[in-house]
Structure 1
Amino acid sequence: MHSIFISGAAQGIGAAIATLFYQRGYKVGIYDINLPAAQTLAQNLGAWAKAGLLDVSDYGQWQQALSEFHAWAGEINVLVNNAGILYSGTFEQTDIAAHHRTIDINVKGMLNGCHAALPYLQQASFARVINLSSASAIYGQPDLVSYSASKFAVRGLTEALDIEWQKYGIRVLDVMPLFVQTAMVKDMDAGSIQNMGVHLSADDVALQVYQQVQVKDTIFTPTHHPVGIKSKILFSLSKVSPQFVNRMSNIFLAKRNK
C-alpha cells in the first residue's frame, strides 16, 4: 500500500488530491497550517488518512511532520508540494510583506519539502515528487508579479531536481493549471482572470496529479504538465512563438475591462 504526503491539504486542490488518492487505495498524509480542517478531512476519509500540522516555511516542522508520517505509513512514496498563496493587484500597491510571504510559502516551502523528504524518498520502493506550478510560470503575469515569479522558481526547481535526482530513481514533475475554482482566486484583482476566466476545478488538478504519479517513467515522460486546454495551448505556443509575440499576447490577456 503506497503512501502520499500532501502539503496544504486541508482544503482546495490539496483536499481534492487527498480524497482522490485515498479512494485509489493510498495511505494519505493531510498536512496543513490549519490543523482542525486537516483533522476533519482525515476523519471524513477514514482510517488510512492521517492529519498533521505543517507550516511549510518552517523547515523544522517539515522534519517533524515527515518523521511522524513515515513512522505511521511505513514509507513515503509520493510527496506533493501543494501549499501556496496568492496576492493579486499591482506590484507597488501590494505590501512588501505580502511579496515576501509569497516567496516564503511558494518557493521556500517547496525547497524545504524536497530537502527534508529526500532521505525518506530514497528509502521507498517507489518514489515521485509532484510540485504544484502554474500557467503563470509560462510568462510573467502583471498583477500577479510575486506569485508568477514564485511559480517560475517552482518550474526551475522541478526541472533541476528532475535531472539531479535521476541518480536516485526519483522523478520530479509538476502540474501547471490555469486558474482553479478555489478560495485562493476569489475576488482576485487581475486582468488575466477577467479575460481568461476560471474553468478548472480542484478535481481536475487532482486527477492530473494522480496521472503523473501513475505514468510510466521513460525518457519521453515530460517534466511539465499543463492542466486544461487553455494552459496546454499557452504552453505550446510559448515554445514556438517569438518573444515579442508572447509579450504582446500577455499584454492583451492582462488588459483590464473598463
Structure 2
Amino acid sequence: MQYSVFITGAAQGIGAEIARLFHQKGFRVGIYDINEQQAQTLAQELGENAKAGYLDVSNDQQWQIALQEFQHWAGELNILINNAGILYSGAFEQTSIQSHQRTMDINIKGVLNGCHTAFPYLKNASFARVINLSSASAIYGQADLASYSANKFAVRGLTEALDVEWQKYNIRVLDVMPLFVKTDMIKNMDAASIQNIGVDLTPTDVAKQVFNLALQKNHLLLPTHTPVGMKSKLMYQLSSISPQFLNRLSNLLLSRQNKSF
C-alpha cells in the first residue's frame, strides 16, 4: 500500500527536505504552506506523487479545506507532520507583543489546529502517526528566545498528552527536538546561545529522523520525544538527571554575552 504524508511549512527548509525524502521513498506527499507558489514549485519538481496547496496553519477553517482536499487526492491521511513555525529572537521586552503573539498563533495554534482537524482522518486510516516539530528549546527555557521556547514547551506537552490519549486509536503522536538547524529561520538570530553552541544540524538531518520515526512499526519501541543531534541528546539526557539549579546555571552560561546576571 502507498502511504501518504501531509507536511505543513513544506515549501522550504526542513519541511521541503522532509517532503523530498518521503517522496523519494514512495509516499504520496502533501506540500502545504502559506507560500503556495513556492510549494507548487516544489511539487512540480517532485512529480505526480506530490500535491501542493495553500495553508495558513493558524486558521482552522483552512485546515479543514486543505485536509479534505488532500484526503480526496491521496485516498487517506497516514502521517501528519506539523512542521510550520516561525522564530523571533532578542530580548523579550524589546520584541513587540504582536511578534510574540504571532509565534503563538503559528507555533502553537497551528499544531493544535492540525491535530484536532486531522483526527477523524487519522482515526479511520489503516496506519496513522503524527510527528510534531518541537525543539531543544523545550528542554529548558532559552534566553532571548522566550516566546519560541514557550511555544515548543507547549508542543512538547501536547505531544505527550495526545500520545497517551490516542493510543486507543493506534495513533502514535511523537516529536523531534533538534537544536539549531541551518535554515533561513536562524539567519541574524539575536541570541548568544547560537554563538556559544553553534549550528551543526542540516534540514536533511532532521528529515531523516522524522522519516525513521514515521516508519517504525513497533509502537512500544518508539520514544515520544527524540532529540536530534549529539548536542541535543546530551542536553536532553543531562536535564533529566541534573538538579534544577544546575540546569539554570548551564543556560545562564550559554546565554552569556557581555552581560552580568
TM-score by length of structure 1 reads 0.99
Structure 1: 5+ residue runs without aligned partners? none
CA distance in 1: counterparts of 2:184 and 2:111, whole angstroms: 21
Partner of residue 139, structure 2: 138
| Mapped pair 1:19 → 2:20 | yes
> Structure 1, residues 139-187: CA drift from partner, whole Å, max 9, x if none?
0001000000000000000000000000100000000000000000000
CA distance in 1: counterparts of 2:220 and 2:33, whole angstroms: 34
CA distance in 2: counterparts of 1:16 and 1:256, whole angstroms: 33
Q: 1:216, CA displacement in angstroms?
A: 2.8
> Structure 1, residues 67-87: CA drift from partner, whole Å, max 9, x if none?
000000000000000000000
Q: Secondary structure at the match of 1:172?
A: strand
The number of residue pairs the alignment matches comes to 258
The aligned runs of 1:214-225 (5 Å cut-off) are 214-225=215-226
Q: 1:219, CA displacement in angstroms?
A: 2.8
Partner of residue 104, structure 2: 103
Q: 1:217, CA displacement in angstroms?
A: 2.8
Partner of residue 56, structure 2: 55
CA distance in 1: counterparts of 2:43 and 2:222, whole angstroms: 32
After TM superposition, the runs of 4+ consecutive aligned structure 1 residues lying more than 4 A away are none
Partner of residue 88, structure 1: 89
Sequence identity (%): 69
> Structure 1, residues 95-149: CA drift from partner, whole Å, max 9, x if none?
0000000000000000000000001001110000000000000000010000000
CA distance in 1: counterparts of 2:209 and 2:220, whole angstroms: 19
CA distance in 1: counterparts of 2:171 and 2:198, whole angstroms: 35
Q: Secondary structure at the match of 1:167?
A: helix
| C-alpha contact 2:10 2:16 (8 A) present in aligned 1 | yes
TM-score by length of structure 2 reads 0.98
Structure 2: 5+ residue runs without aligned partners? none
CA distance in 2: counterparts of 1:127 and 1:240, whole angstroms: 33
CA RMSD of aligned residues (A): 0.9
| C-alpha contact 1:191 1:257 (8 A) present in aligned 2 | no
Q: 1:257, CA displacement in angstroms?
A: 5.8
Amino acid at match of 1:7: T
CA distance in 2: counterparts of 1:257 and 1:71, whole angstroms: 56
Amino acid at match of 2:139: I
